[in-house]
Amino acid sequence: MSRTSESWRRSRYRSRYGITPEDYDRLNTEQGGLCALCDRPEENRRLAVDHDHETGKVRALLCSRCNTGLGNLRDDPALMLRAAVYVAKYR
């Protein structure tokens, strides 16, 4: 990784999530390089840092599909349960 991209990565993680690239790497290692939700590796990019939008607390690393899905469901557990029931109903 170039010095410029490493500097950008360090700055981005610190300002957005309050973590260092080393923190990210530790999470990635703990998760075995897999999404914390679907247990699949990210295909074309790094796993996304999932965080609570109200508290800013980092939860885990997710693939872009799972991270987007949670965001589309507004991080609302009740809505997520309703979505799960809905999908199961039509299987």
**Structure-block tokens of residue 57:** 């607390």
From residue 89, alpha-carbon distances to 79, 83, 86 in Å are 15, 10, 5
Domain count, the chain: 1
Segments forming the whole domain that contains residue 46: 3-89
Return the DSSP state at 1.
-
Q: What pLDDT is stored for residue 9 in this prediction?
A: 85
Give DSSP secondary structure letters for 12-80: HHHHHHS--HHHHHHHHHHTTTB-TTT--B-SSSPPEEEE-TTT--EEEEE-HHHHHHHHHTTT-HHHH
Adjacent-strand bridge partners of 51: 58
- Going from the first residue of the chain to its last (91 residues), give the mean pLDDT of each consecutive group of 10, the final group possibly shorter: 80 94 97 98 94 94 96 96 98 95
Q: What is the CATH number of the domain that holds 75?
A: 3.40.1800.10
Look at the pTM and tell me if it is higher than 0.85.
yes
